[in-house]
Structure 1
């Protein structure tokens, strides 16, 4: 078994350019730099050598759980292994120019009022923030990047000028939601460090807003960031803290409290699925289903948690895929029908998960079909999702000659 070089030794290396730009190739590069064999990496990441070999060759998708497991062993960020951010595509979509203004706006949080900004009435600002949140749920990144920095500046100035009271709490709540949108945007396009900063700012302003549910939503997103790094146990601990916050709500049986509670149960289910704990998944999904039944309908815009019976059905499929129960996932997917009002972010994510499942099953045509659906319903999400690239790459490499439709998808994501 090879040894992992010290931090000092690692800084002397420069990552070589791989002939094949995919996650598996980058994993192989880093594994070799760390002087590890495939067997050693498999043992340390609790995966099979066959999985490592197939992923490195690009013949199996580098799923989030696999990438997280090897990233922890190789001591490299998940985004680095995924090749994020995808700068060429960001430039083509004119999204690269939005990162710097957003970063600067996030840095204004403690600078006090801007003398060049005269805030509008809080009702008008709240309306704009709500539209921005709706855009985030629809994965409309261009609108987010162009409008968010201005709103952050306006709300930061407003909060600095207001005295403690109802309007201050409203401004703090709106500012916290703006930071949530900043997190969603930065995370989806691969700027995870920026997303982490936005999430910290969100928690800070949610405390100023004195809103336990908003704080719980922030912890839900934090648990997702931890799962990205493969830290299942800490992710569950963070969700537990979220449940304790909901205990502070004056009306724990309100639709808002039930929706946020249910979303936390779904987050726990995904964490348990990544840890391959099927019994825990069943328990968490049962609790989420109870919350959804109490509400009795989908509530996609309540605390922007996209919660309801439809989302619980979606997570039934998602957890089955994560557990490797692909046949069960396909069976459950036959019963899932999204209403017109369901957030496109969720629908697109479902199509990506199903494409991954069919690719793992070796079924090219349905995998490609779901990729096309993901592109149609939430194009910017699909274009910047690493699992879309992984799945396309696997489908291409498995065939001697790719059909034109698959080649078109590959070109669209920049492969």
Structure 2
């Protein structure tokens, strides 16, 4: 990327933003021919003012267009910035494993160290500390990949693969939060293959859940529904007998909930009801909310998904009613990421009802709980933009301050 001419970099980021040359030209106030010449290197970009204008339209740091390392934003303590996304991308683009067929693998980090780092990364993600996670994730990816390669023909092969599968899942979840859905899909897909080598069908099952989440984020609701239902059906065998262990119930239940979200996106309310009913049954068998395989699955999380599915179907009142019926103690026991995520869903429900004041309150409550979940997610930005647009007069000081911190115009 650093060796690309600036025109190629412009074309690269325009493609990443899913903008045609015409749309890009219109936003710049230029002609399509001008854009085409810039991208082909026929026309030079020698004015910083134009480069910064292009960077603003593309939503990237101007330093990236110049082939330099971007300056970290002041708010990157909470959010994943462009530099970190590119570092994660570079780690995912490595294919060092194939070299093990030809060369001796380098000395890997001890598996105990990798295991400790992976556990810390999961906790960091589930406490919505995305900036901290992003700074450590590229190195963790490289170390887990190195361990997987080095231990491939030893007694530690399955554990190394298991740890790498987890790291891919963490990366997939974090990238999806940021809106990097294609990368999220790639990381989740990698996790499925690695999890199979690890010999853990539940790890592969929850990797399928991550694939479904990435597909849903990409707007591929039907494939997302299919992948969740197919794997859930395989896990459903003997769930009433010895196979109904807590870990299996948790993975099975999350697949059903993710399938319900996909079904809601397609508008199939009957399928949503069936899948949530199945998840409720699994949660009741489990007997509480647990974090087996990092799912946070249980009766409370089922209610959260029931509310989220109602929002997807445009049933804001149903979502708010579900929110009000959630057990406060169960909700308070959930990890910060889950609770703040729910506040975003309920805020969206209130906007559907036309109550922007309540929507603003939920965003502020989520921001107090887990700032990165509110400030970093495109979904929260969209809701806040809607709240500000529909607020009569000057918005309240707290919501105006939040908008300023998030870079959302008042």
TM-score (norm 1): 0.75
The separation in 1 between residues aligned to 2:168 and 2:274, in whole angstroms, is 32
Whether 2:90 is the aligned partner of 1:108: answer no
The separation in 2 between residues aligned to 1:84 and 1:283, in whole angstroms, is 42
**For 1:160-199, what per-residue CA distance to the aligned partner results, in whole angstroms no more than 9, with x for missing partners?**
2225465211110101111111112222122223222212
- Higher mean displacement: 359-368 or 92-101: 92-101
The separation in 2 between residues aligned to 1:249 and 1:135, in whole angstroms, is 35
1:99-178 aligned at under 5 Å gives the runs 99-111=85-97, 112=99, 118-164=107-153, 166-178=155-167
Which of 393, 400, 404 in structure 2 is aligned with 1:407? 400
The separation in 1 between residues aligned to 2:182 and 2:222, in whole angstroms, is 21
The separation in 2 between residues aligned to 1:317 and 1:90, in whole angstroms, is 36
1:8-407 aligned at under 5 Å gives the runs 11-15=20-24, 16-17=26-27, 91-94=73-76, 95-111=81-97, 112=99, 118-164=107-153, 166-246=155-235, 252-300=243-291, 302-336=292-326, 337=328, 338-398=330-390, 399-407=392-400
8 Å contact kept, 1:85–1:191 = no
The separation in 1 between residues aligned to 2:61 and 2:367, in whole angstroms, is 19
The structure-2 alpha-carbon separation of the partners of 1:12 and 1:99, relative to structure 1 and needing over 3 Å to count, comes to: closer
Q: In structure 2, list runs of 5 or more residues that go unmatched.
A: 1-18, 30-56, 63-70
TM superposition shift of 1:384: 1.9
8 Å contact kept, 2:106–2:146 = yes
Higher relative contact order (CA 8 A, sep 6+): 1
The structure-2 alpha-carbon separation of the partners of 1:341 and 1:85, relative to structure 1 and needing over 3 Å to count, comes to: farther
The structure-2 alpha-carbon separation of the partners of 1:328 and 1:90, relative to structure 1 and needing over 3 Å to count, comes to: farther
TM superposition shift of 1:387: 2.2
TM superposition shift of 1:91: 2.6
Match of 1:98, SS?
helix
The structure-2 alpha-carbon separation of the partners of 1:269 and 1:14, relative to structure 1 and needing over 3 Å to count, comes to: closer
The separation in 2 between residues aligned to 1:99 and 1:116, in whole angstroms, is 27
The separation in 1 between residues aligned to 2:144 and 2:357, in whole angstroms, is 48
Match of 2:73, SS?
helix
Q: In structure 1, list runs of 5 or more residues that go unmatched.
A: 1-9, 20-82
8 Å contact kept, 2:337–2:373 = yes
TM superposition shift of 1:304: 0.9
The structure-2 alpha-carbon separation of the partners of 1:152 and 1:242, relative to structure 1 and needing over 3 Å to count, comes to: same
8 Å contact kept, 2:315–2:349 = no
**For 1:31-72, what per-residue CA distance to the aligned partner results, in whole angstroms no more than 9, with x for missing partners?**
xxxxxxxxxxxxxxxxxxxxxxxxxxxxxxxxxxxxxxxxxx
The separation in 1 between residues aligned to 2:269 and 2:237, in whole angstroms, is 31
**For 1:336-355, what per-residue CA distance to the aligned partner results, in whole angstroms no more than 9, with x for missing partners?**
12444412121111101111
Aligned residues: 342
The separation in 2 between residues aligned to 1:157 and 1:395, in whole angstroms, is 47
TM superposition shift of 1:266: 0.5
Match of 2:171, SS?
helix
TM superposition shift of 1:244: 4.8
The separation in 1 between residues aligned to 2:251 and 2:113, in whole angstroms, is 26
- The Cα RMSD (Å) is 2.8
Pick the structure with greater CA Rg: 2
TM superposition shift of 1:310: 0.8
8 Å contact kept, 1:265–1:287 = yes
TM superposition shift of 1:17: 2.7
The separation in 2 between residues aligned to 1:272 and 1:355, in whole angstroms, is 21
The structure-2 alpha-carbon separation of the partners of 1:397 and 1:142, relative to structure 1 and needing over 3 Å to count, comes to: closer
The separation in 1 between residues aligned to 2:284 and 2:114, in whole angstroms, is 34
The separation in 2 between residues aligned to 1:90 and 1:361, in whole angstroms, is 38
